[in-house]
Structure 1
Amino acid sequence: MSAEHFESFDGTRLAIHRVGEGKPLVLLHGLFSSAQMNWIKFGHAEEIASRGYEVIMLDFRVHGDSDAPEEPEKYPLNVLVRDVAALVDHLGLEDYDLGGFSLGARTSLHGVAHGILSPERLIVGGMGTAGLGEWGKRSAFFKRVIDEFDTIERGDPAYFSMQFLKSQGVNRTAARLLLDTMPDLDLAMLDNVSMPTLVVCGDEDRDNGSAEALAELLPNAEYAEVPGTHMGSVTKPDLGLAMADWLDRTA
């Protein structure tokens, strides 16, 4: 496992973690998480790398080992899509696959639907139709977590999100700015996502709406279910195995 940094389109310093050799697979983590938490800690990256891939994991701005600028001008619309495009350009990637979980999945779909990212294959984890077309409602929940951070008590639906945010040491000022950069996606634009796609979701995960409905809307997708809730599914080996097996089958 190696780590390095590069400067994104606006000079923000972002971290890249890499493991393995072979065809590049770019993986994007979830909100308030990191490459370490989503892909490395529970062995998913190592499993996929063992199948002959170079797994390239970005820490989004405000997350992991990347910078968390507090200047509002560092947060234009869809800034995370621009960061992923900057990563692809920095590494000179042409023939690559792309995968994401939760925020990473919606970032991937935005990038592909808008013609900014062009992977050969796509993996969409922990994402459903509501997490795309009704993101404003989901975003409002996370804004409340930040705005009421010090007063949220056990038993509140936001309590565990607050605890996770605290455990990851996320800069709340920067996170609040980041949340305003994420627009809803017109689901009709999913017609543009024509490459082979795996939609994979926990069997108890309803955080972002129906993943099965999302798979049905995508032109060339299949659906796979793994054990777990939204936060629990990434802690089980089944997620990495499902991703690796699908990559093997569609190679």
Structure 2
Amino acid sequence: MHKFNSGGVEIAYQMAGEGAPIVLIHGFASNARVNWWDTSWVRTLAEAGRHVITFDHRGHGASQKLYDSALYPAAEMAEDARRLLDHLGIAEADVMGYSMGARVAAFLTMAHPARVRRAVFAGLASRMITGVGGAEAIGQALEARSRDEVADPAALAFRIFAEQTKSDLKALAACIRSSREKITAEELAEIRVPVLVVAGEKDDVAGDVGTLVKAIPGAKGVTLPNRNHMNAVGDRGYKDAVLAFLA
């Protein structure tokens, strides 16, 4: 585990393998270990000859915890990824994000197209445009004294997951209230790098793949049969699609 200063915020990162670089950006309430290492993504990509870089978002994992929601815009979280590339002296890399990480990856691709060779947006499809909703309910669920006080089933699922990942609940509450920024179809239409969109067939958080693919010129899409938001991330079909895309 390494750390660096990203505009005054301490960000933790890890690396594995050698070859062309790829940055993996994890989802909300998760961390790099849970999202990418435990699902064998890092090993899969390293074995495919890639230099794999993962990091914990601000407020997540081993990175610095912040309690002001104004510090969690997705665009600023994308700058953490860009500053990590600067810190490592990497001019250009492939980028893959899952769920909230896909939104962050999209902001990175739009703001710094010269730094992104190819992008994979996974676990977030049409709802990158239309919005996911429920941020305040999730924030309140994370701030509740115990999960027994949470009545909203969707918010409760996030509370349970956050506890499983041993996350700082108050930091996550601040994050969720700011990080779910919508991206317009017009903004996405400006993307010129190759993009792959991947989501589970039963992923209500992500929405449908086709809508996002249509918004991004030349994008390709893969829908994973019988997969939802939680079990799509380690799916073999997802890995195979990404390896083929990167190749």
Task: Give the TM-score normalised by the residue count of structure 1.
Answer: 0.88
Residues 74 and 103, structure 2, Cα contact 8 Å, conserved in 1: no
Q: CA 1:143/1:108 → structure 2, altered by over 3 Å: closer, same or farther?
A: same
Match among 48, 60, 64 for residue 63 of structure 1: 60
Length, aligned pairs only: 243
2:165 counterpart (165, 168, 172):
168
**Residue 142 of structure 1, CA deviation:** 2.3
Instruction: Report the counterpart of residue 243 of structure 1 in structure 2.
Output: 242
The equivalent position to 2:86 in structure 1, one of 89, 110, 123, is 89
CA contact (8 A) 1:70 1:173 kept: yes
1:142 match: 138
Whether the 8 Å contact between 1:149 and 1:162 is mirrored in structure 2 is no
**3-state SS of paired residue (1:78):** helix
Conservation of the 8 A alpha-carbon contact between 1:145 and 1:162: yes
Q: What is the deviation of 1:76?
A: 6.0
State the partner residue of 1:211: 209
CA 1:76/1:157 → structure 2, altered by over 3 Å: closer, same or farther? closer
Q: What residue identity is the alignment partner of 2:230?
A: M
Give the drift of 1:131: 3.2
Structure-2 separation of matches of 1:164 and 1:247: 30
Note the alpha carbon deviations across 1:51-96, whole angstroms, 9 max, x for none.
1110101111111221213356744673211211211111121131
Contact 2:74/2:107, CA 8 A, preserved across alignment: no
Does the 8 Å contact 1:129/1:211 carry over to 2?
A: yes
Q: Where does residue 121 of structure 1 map in the other structure? A: 118
| Greater Cα shift, 84-93 or 115-124 | 115-124
What TM-score do the two structures reach when normalised by structure 2?
0.89
> Structure 1's 77 and 112: CA in aligned 2 closer, same or farther, altered over 3 A?
closer
Letter in structure 2 aligned against 1:247: L
TM superposition shift of 1:246: 1.6
- In structure 1, list runs of 5 or more residues that go unmatched: none
Task: Give, in whole Å, the separation in 1 of the partners of 2:157 and 2:84.
Answer: 32
The two structures, once aligned, show a CA RMSD in angstroms of 2.2
* Separation (CA, whole Å) in 2 of partners of 1:42 and 1:65: 19
In structure 2, runs of 5+ residues without a counterpart are none
Q: For the residues of structure 1 that align with 2:198 and 2:3, how far apart are their CA atoms? A: 29
Question: How far apart are the structure 1 equivalents of 2:143 and 2:241?
Answer: 37
Q: State the percentage of identical aligned residues.
A: 25
- In structure 2, the CA distance between the partners of 1:128 and 1:141, relative to structure 1 (3 Å rule), is farther
- State the partner residue of 1:189: 187
Alignment partner of 1:9 is 2:7 = yes
Amino acid at match of 2:243: A
One-letter identity of the residue aligned with 1:46: R
Is the contact between residue 226 and residue 238 of structure 1 (CA under 8 Å) also seen in structure 2? yes
Alpha-carbon contact 1:25-1:96 (below 8 Å) kept: yes
Are the aligned partners of 1:105 and 1:123 in contact in 2 as well (CA < 8 Å)?
Answer: yes
Paired position in structure 2 for 1:177: 174
Q: Tell me how far apart the structure 2 counterparts of residues 77 and 125 of structure 1 sit (CA, whole Å).
A: 16
| 1:117 CA drift (Å) | 6.7
Q: Do the aligned partners of residues 233 and 216 (structure 1) sit closer, same or farther apart at CA in structure 2, a change above 3 Å counting?
A: same
1:85–1:116 CA contact under 8 A, matched in 2: no
